Structure 1
Amino acid sequence: MHIGVPKEIKVKENRVAMTPGGVETLVRRGHSVTVEAGAGLGSSFSDEAYQQAGAQLGSAADAWGAEMVVKVKEPVESEYGYLRDDLLLFTYLHLAADRPLTDALLKAGTTAIAYETVQHSDGSLPLLMPMSEVAGRLSVQAGAYHLQKPAGGRGVLLGGVPGVKPGNVTIVGGGVVGTNAAKMAMGLGAHVTILDVSQRRLSYLDDVFFGRITTMMSSEANLRDLLPTTDLLIGAVLIPGAKAPHLVTRDMLSLMPEGAVIVDVAVDQGGCVETSHPTTHDDPTYEVDGVIHYGVANMPGAVPRTSTLALTNQTMPYVLQLADKGVQALNSNASLLPGLNTYQGKLTNQPVAEAFDMSWEKAGEVLQGSQA
């Protein structure tokens, strides 16, 4: 199979979907790889390294012209023209928050597999996990920085100092993002509270953190109790493939101290804070009702070397299966099948369909129908 790796063009997105090592593995198995010139520079992978691994360097059109395109972020509007009905696209998509891209994929008839909806039988999301780990850890770094007065915050040092109490970090969601955010916040010496809807998850978190964090059931009442003393709020809510629910509403902002910071990691799925909207690394924050909002939708792009290595460690086994078997890999890998979001002009993801009130078909049935 011919695999293409375009350069990411989202603002300040420096990750790349494949390392030279991944290229070498594919080439050794008889596949060909075209990498857009400069695609790896942001992650400190030179064009020469890709050439030495066996890749051909080319333009964006050359990379997009491959049978399968492997990316990091969803196609932006200027890339919609590359979509076509014989293209297999493997990348993060987050369609539930992006109707224009959903429509573009369906109109083009592209077979699109989303990293974030590849799912194991136990419900875990293997291709979302590494970036959730990075984003969770970065959320505290970003929040701590923007709490500084010169950055617009209320001037709180999360760890405090002897004789001065530490800052309060409230984390909404105890999954991978929330757990990693808690690790970082604890490491800085902050007082950490995690809210989640699962008592089982809260018990697990209480155990792994040896009771050094506060755990609470996620409810509006508990949130309202916490917000008046919250210096940093981290939104870490995830419903796989679906638009995030607004758990923090506009009226709740008035409960927070002036200069407090919200980092909504769920912003790429619509955000779990009503007043959140996507921002960029160039202009990451804005203020609503005296509260600083950080809404960068590609947070891991700030540490591209680490993020690229972490992501490709997980994606490459699936890339190899798709390269070897094409769409048939979806039938032989039960974890990969839920990743299918669009196929031959049909929507195959229920949460996306519900977000836009669209019709959808089950991925397995669509694939069987096309092979009949």
Structure 2
Amino acid sequence: MIKKLGIPKEVKKDEGRVSLIPEHITQFTGLADIFVETNAGLGSGFTDEDYQSAGAKIVPTAHELYDISEIICKVKEPQEQEFELLNSSHVIFGYLHLASNLSLTKMLIEKKLTAIATEMIMDEDEYPLLIPMSKIAGNLAVQKGMQFLEYSSAGKGLLLSSISDERNSKVTVIGCGEVGKSSIHKSIQIGAFVTAIDVNENILKELKNKYGENISTHISGSDEATEAIRTADLVVGAVLLPGRKPPIVVTQEDINQMEKGSVIVDVAIDQGGCVEGVTPNTHSEPFEIRNGVIVSAIANLPGAVPKTSSIELSTNLQKYVDNLLIENWFEEYSKSENLKPSLQIHSGLLLSEEVAESLSLSLSKLV
């Protein structure tokens, strides 16, 4: 039986990405009818005509797309204006980050639909759909930090990049996974001195061996780490616990001790944030100022570069869509060690241990 897969236009504020680009949907011919909401790809540089040429059918409204489609292939989690469009026959396939969103989780449970968090798909102990967005976010964290340090943004008026042999700017990166490593590499490339903070000594040793005198490393929670946070020009919070809320690694007291005009970019905001008291920002209102320190927590940071992000996302996402297009897809999906962690809600049941623990909800198991 041919499945019906819908690609909606993202409605999250300042979100221009699209889940699948035209060149990646042709492979599903014969397996699924592809429906694309009009202008869904426009923010990423793909027109309705591009999708039609690839074999998709363009529908004029979100209501019609959701009514027709069984599988809703999204970038970001459903927004409030989309809630009424969802029903129990839907399979939502996208970045959900439920561990920081109690109201969304409860709504998805009440709808009795199936919700698959693509950020939790695994392949040989890695998260192939999280890695490309993490690398983009790590680069953008430094790029945004450079912008916010400018005088016009109420920053301290410091050029993060080096124009001489003097390294006159300091970047502290907390959490050295894919986001952190990308931020570290970008910062060193432009000539900043970097301090890396992590709980894993082996990762810190690898970074020290790679970058030598351009980097210092400290174990998270140490006095040296605290000092590195408080004296930095730019702090990048890049802590990630897959599927769970991250710990608070930058406190309000840390912020109070920082020089006015310094910048903090919390890249962990999609999972709840790693800066004390942080609330999500948008690309159009990208930061708040606390005690003279700029704190930015843009929830969909890779959305700043939707064309780059959509191509990277679609390139990886396409490899997993066909798992939903076979007749007994749920039985096979739920038995796969790599795919099962992403199957978070089904028929009113919360199946994710990480989400249940983070939100203090009851965990269910499939029988």
1:119 Cα deviation (Å)?
2.2
Between the aligned partners of 1:351 and 1:228, the Cα distance in structure 2 is 31
Tell me which amino acid in the other structure corresponds to 2:38: A
Q: How does 1:92-171 map to 2 (within 5 A)?
A: 92-122=95-125, 124-162=126-164, 164-171=166-173
Between the aligned partners of 1:135 and 1:266, the Cα distance in structure 2 is 10
Aligned length: 362
The residue that corresponds to 1:13 in the other structure is 15
Residue 348 to residue 331, structure 1, CA distance change in 2 (3 Å): closer
From 229, 233, 242, give the equivalent of 1:231: 233
Instruction: State the TM-score, normalizing by the size of structure 1.
Output: 0.94
Deviations 1:214-257 (A, max 9, x none): 22111152332113420000000000111111111111112211
From 65, 73, 76, give the equivalent of 2:76: 73
SS at match of 1:209: helix
The residue that corresponds to 2:207 in the other structure is 205
Tell me which amino acid in the other structure corresponds to 1:236: A
Tell me which amino acid in the other structure corresponds to 1:31: A
1:121 Cα deviation (Å)?
4.3
Between the aligned partners of 1:169 and 1:305, the Cα distance in structure 2 is 28
Counting aligned pairs with the same residue, the percent is 39
1:329 Cα deviation (Å)?
3.8
From 356, 359, 362, give the equivalent of 1:359: 362
SS at match of 1:324: coil
Between the aligned partners of 2:177 and 2:166, the Cα distance in structure 1 is 30
Maintained 8 Å contact 2:5/2:73: yes
Residue 88 to residue 131, structure 1, CA distance change in 2 (3 Å): same
Between the aligned partners of 1:253 and 1:228, the Cα distance in structure 2 is 7
1:307 Cα deviation (Å)?
0.1
Instruction: State the TM-score, normalizing by the size of structure 2.
Output: 0.95
Tell me which amino acid in the other structure corresponds to 1:88: V
Tell me which amino acid in the other structure corresponds to 2:48: D
Maintained 8 Å contact 2:230/2:255: no
Structure 2 unaligned blocks of 5 or more: none
The residue that corresponds to 2:265 in the other structure is 263
Aligned residues: CA RMSD: 1.4
Between the aligned partners of 1:3 and 1:38, the Cα distance in structure 2 is 16
Tell me which amino acid in the other structure corresponds to 1:111: T
1:105 Cα deviation (Å)?
0.4
Maintained 8 Å contact 1:127/1:315: yes
1:162 Cα deviation (Å)?
2.6
Structure 1 unaligned blocks of 5 or more: none
1:211 Cα deviation (Å)?
5.2
Between the aligned partners of 2:250 and 2:225, the Cα distance in structure 1 is 8
Deviations 1:37-74 (A, max 9, x none): 00000000010010111111112122223111100000
Between the aligned partners of 2:99 and 2:182, the Cα distance in structure 1 is 24
1:210 Cα deviation (Å)?
4.7
SS at match of 2:171: strand
The residue that corresponds to 1:246 in the other structure is 248
Maintained 8 Å contact 1:120/1:334: no
SS at match of 2:325: helix
1:288 Cα deviation (Å)?
0.7
Q: For structure 1, which segment, 302-311 or 81-90, has the greater mean C-alpha deviation from structure 2 after superposition?
A: 81-90
1:203 Cα deviation (Å)?
1.9
